[in-house]
Amino acid sequence: MARILDGVTIAAAIKQEVAEEVLALGAVGIRPGLAAVLVGNVAASEIYVRNKVRICGEVGIYSDLIKLPETATTAELLELVASLNARDEIDGILVQLPLPAQVDVKTVLDSILAAKDVDGLHPVNAGLLQAGRTALAPCTPAGVIEILRRSEIPMAGQHAVVVGRSDLVGKPAAMLLLHQNATVTICHSKTHDLSAITRQADILVAAIGRAGFITPDMVKPGATIIDVGINRISDPAEFARFFAGNAKREAAFAKNGSTLVGDVDPKAFEVAGAYTPVPGGVGLLTTAMLMANTVRAAKMRRGL
C-alpha cells in the first residue's frame, strides 16, 4: 500500500517552527508583519485570505487585511502597494489573485518590493531563484520541497517530472528540485507522448489544473506523486469516475453537492509508492510557507 505524505502534520510542524522564530524575533523588538490585499467579493478568495490572517494570529505575525471594491483600478492598487512598500512594520505584501479584469495584474505584482514579495513572483526573486541565490520562493513549490524533505523522500539523483509550467508552481518547482540535485523534466499541454515521460518519473509533480488528469497508466510503479491540484467537482458523473465505491466520499458528496479532487486520478495512487492526498496535502503547506516567507523577509530586510 502506498504511503500517504501527511500535509496536516508537516504544515503544523512548520507553523510551530515559525511561531518559535517569531517569539525569538520579539525578544529583540521585531514583529514580522504581513499585509493582505483583497479586491472584490470572490468567495474563494475571501476564504483564503481569512485563513491566512487567522494563521498569522496563531503564529504571532502582525497582519493587516485591506479590502478594495470590485471596481478598483490598476492606479488605485499601485498607490496602495506603494504605501505598503513604505511601511516599515510590513515585511510581506500579498495581493490575492485573481484580480478583476480591468486590473493589470503583472504591473501590480511587479510594483511590490522584491524584499516584501512573500509570494515569490517578482522577476528579481525569480531570477535569484534560478541563480540558486537567497530568494523568497513561491510558497506552493517551497511546500513541495518541504514535504519531500521532511518525509525523507530522496531527491538527489532522482528523475523528477513536473507537469505544468506556470510561473506560480511549475517553473519554480522545477528549479527548486534542480537545486536539490534532481534530474528535472518539465511537461505541459503541448508535450508529445506525455505518458511516456511521466512513466519515467521517480517523483511526479502534477500541477496542470485539470481534475484527475494523471491516470494510473501514466505513473511508474513505486513513484512518489505530489498532487498540487485542487479542483472542486459537482457533476455526479465526474464524481463517480473518481470515487465510485468510496462510501465516505459518497456520503460527503451527497451532503455537500461537491468535493475536491487533485490533478491526479485517485486510482493512480494505487500504483505509487507515496503520494500527497487532496485535501490534506500540498494545499496546507502553501499557507505555512507564506508564514515562513514572511518571517524570512523580516529577517532579510534587517540583515539577520
The β-bridge partners of 204 are 161, 225
CA-closest candidate to residue 137, choices 299, 13, 296: 296
Question: For the residues of 208-226, what is the DSSP string, one character each?
Answer: S--TT-B-GGGS-TT-EEE
Cα–Cα distance, 43 to 232 (Å, whole number) = 14
| Kind of pairing between the strands at 203-206 and 259-261 | unpaired
2, 272 contact by CB (below 8 A): yes
CA-closest candidate to residue 90, choices 64, 119, 124, 52: 64
Amino acid present at 88: D
36, 49 contact by CB (below 8 A): yes
Long-range residue pairs from 232-241, CB within 8 A, at least 24 positions apart, any chain: 232/258, 232/259, 232/260, 233/258, 233/259, 233/260, 233/261, 234/258, 238/211, 241/212
Active site residues: 52, 96, 119
Scan for cell 479590502, then name that residue: 67
Max alpha carbon distance in the chain (Å)? 58
Q: What angle do CA 186, 190, 195 make, to 5 degrees?
A: 65
Q: What angle do CA 111, 126, 288 make, to 5 degrees?
A: 85
How far is CA 254 from its chain centroid?
29
Question: For the residues of 98-138, what is the DSSP string, one character each?
Answer: PPPTTS-HHHHHHTS-GGG-TT--SHHHHHHHHTTSS----
